[in-house]
Copies of this chain bind each other. A is one copy, B any other.
Amino acid sequence: MTSYREKKVITIGVVHELTGLSERKIRYYEERGLIFPARSKKGTRKYSFSDIEALMNIADQREEGVQTDEIKRDMMKKKNSKQIREELRRGQLNAHFNMRKP
């Protein structure tokens, strides 16, 4: 629960220092729905270590010429299969089906 990895506390400047990505790129990848920083009360973006890891992956793929669309589709796939696995693990596949035909 005290997952430091997921806590949104890092400003864009520090993310830039850590990843080497320009702030422009970082904001653009958000615009394309690849990352989801939180906002402080005053509106500045706040990222988690997890976001930073995601950005490194994105950067790698971009270098290989992969477009943001495709990166996003890939991420969705992984997210979905991860969720399926999760449901199986909990033995809640039934609940899942019940949800589809109530």
Contact = CB atoms under 8 A, between A and B. Distances in A.
Interface of A: 4-5, 7, 9-11, 13-14, 17-18, 40-41, 46, 49
Contacts of A13: 40
Contact of A9 (B5, B14, B40): B14
State the oligomeric state as a number of copies. Answer: 2
Contact of A5 (B4, B14, B40, B46): B4
A11 B14 CA distance: 9
7 contacts: A4-B4, A4-B5, A7-B49, A9-B10, A9-B14, A11-B14, A13-B40
A18 B9 contact: yes
A46 B14 contact: yes
